[in-house]
Amino acid sequence: MRVLDSLPDRPLTDAELASFNQSEAIEIAVEVAEADDDGIGGVILATEDWVKGLAYGAEGWRVAETVSLGDGENERYDGMRACESAVREALD
């Protein structure tokens, strides 16, 4: 299942974002930006293997950036920063 397939066709609620953090599949879920019409319109999701920046717009959710993770200690942090920048740019 693709990450986008599990998202509703609208911005996320705070409870939905929190549920990602309680999921076994996602290790970290962070809000990047609020949506224009309430809710969360930009998020970063991270697993052991990747970090994805997701942005919600007129066409629905889309992947703004994906960073594959290896064994480097700072890779997740750097990946999250790259994804955050990509989401902010996608929403501007």
- Give yes or no for residue 18 having a pLDDT over 80: yes
pLDDT band at 73 (very low <50, low <70, confident <90, very high): low
- Give yes or no for residue 71 having a pLDDT over 80: no
Any idea where the domains of the chain sit in the sequence? Answer: 4-91
Residue 1: what pLDDT? 44
CA–CA dist 67, 73 (Å, integer): 14
Helix (H, G, I), strand (E, B) or coil at 21: helix
The tokens for 54 are 């997701």
* Helix (H) / strand (E) containing 43: strand 40-46
Cβ(31)–Cβ(42) under 8 Å?
Answer: yes
The 10s digit of each residue's pLDDT in 23-62 is: 888 999 999 999 877 899 999 999 999 999 999 998 999 9
